[in-house]
Structure 1
Amino acid sequence: MVNPWFETVLEAQRRAKKRLPKSVYSSLVAGSEKGITLHDNVEAFGEIGFAPHVVGAHAEREQATSIMGQEISMPVLISPTGVQAVDKEGEVAVARAAAARGTAMGLSSFASKPIEDVTAVNDKIFFQAYWLNSREDILKRAERARAAGAKGLIVTTDWSFSMGRDWGSPEIPEKVDLRALLKLAPEIAMRPRYAWDWFNRGKPIIPDLTAPNVVDKGQTGPTFFGAYGQWMATAPPSWEDLAWLREQWGGPFMVKGITRLDDAKRARDIGATALSVSNHGGNNLDGTPATIRMLGPIADAVGGDMQVLLDGGIRRGSDVVKALALGADAVMIGRAYLWGLAANGQTGVENVLDILRGGIDSALMGLGRKSIHELTRGDIIIPEGFERRFGDTTDRETADVSAERN
Structure 2
Amino acid sequence: MSWFESVAEAQRRAKKRLPGSVYSALIAGSEKGLTLADNLGAFDELRFAPRTAGHYGERELNTQVLGRDVALPVLISPTGVQAVHPDGEVAVARAAAARGTSMGLSSFGSKPIEEVVAANPNTYFQIYWTGTRDDILRRLERARAAGAVGIILTLDWSFSHSRDWGSPHIPERLTFRELLRFAPEGVTHPRWLLDYVRTRRLPDLGVPNMASPGEPSPTFFGAYGQWMQTPPPSWEDVAWLRSQWDGPFLLKGVIRVDEARRAVEAGVSAISVSNHGGNNLDGTPATIRALPAIASAVGSEVEVLLDGGIRRGSDVVKALALGAKAVLIGRAYLWGLAAAGQPGVENVLDVLRNGIDSTLLALGKRSIHDLTRGDVVVPKGFEAKLGVAAEAKAGW
Q: Shorter-normalised TM-score: what interval?
A: over 0.9
Superposed, which structure 2 residues align to 1:4-403 within 5 Å? 4-204=2-202, 207-393=203-389, 397=393
Give 1:339 deviation, angstroms: 0.2
- 2: CA distance, partners of 1:89 / 1:162: 28
Is the 2:10–2:335 Cα contact (8 Å) retained in structure 1?
A: yes
**Percent of aligned positions that are identical:** 65
Cα drift, residue 395 of structure 1? 7.0
> Retained in 1: the 8 A contact 2:206–2:219?
yes
CA contact (8 A) 1:33 1:162 kept: no
Distance in 2 separating the partners of 1:212 and 1:279:
25
Per-residue deviation at 1:162? Answer: 3.0
Which consecutive residues of structure 1, in runs of 5 or more, have no partner in the other structure? Answer: 399-406
Gaps of 5+ in 2: none
Q: Distance in 2 between matches of 1:80 and 1:65?
A: 20
Q: Deviations over 1:71-111 (max 9, x none)?
A: 10000000000010100100000000000000001100001
CA displacement at 1:396 relative to structure 2: 7.3
2-side partners of 1:198 and 1:354: how far apart? 27
The alpha carbon displacement at 1:208 in A equals 2.0
Given the two structures, how large is their TM-score scaled by the length of structure 2? 0.98
Q: Deviations over 1:179-229 (max 9, x none)?
A: 10001111111101011111111123xx12000001111322101111111
Q: Is contact 2:258-2:391 (8 Å) kept? A: no
2:160, 2:340 → 1: CA distance? 31
Post-superposition Cα deviations, 1:45-64, rounded to whole Å, max 9, x if no partner, equal: 00000000010110110011
Q: Using the alignment, how far apart are the partners of 1:209 and 1:395 within structure 2?
A: 42
* d(CA) in 2 for partners of 1:60, 1:220: 51
Distance 1:275 1:5 in 2: 34
Maintained 8 Å contact 2:74/2:326? yes
Distance 1:119 1:395, change over 3 A: closer
C-alpha distance in structure 1 between counterparts of 2:64 and 2:79, whole Å: 22
Q: Deviations over 1:118-162 (max 9, x none)?
A: 000111001000001001110110111011110110000001323
Distance (whole Å) between structure 1 residues aligned to residue 159 and residue 260 of structure 2: 22
Residues 75 and 327, structure 2, Cα contact 8 Å, conserved in 1? yes
The secondary structure found in structure 1 opposite 2:152 is strand
1:264-321 CA distance string (max 9 Å, x none): 0000111100000000000010000000000000000000000000000000000000
The one-letter amino acid paired with 2:348 is: V
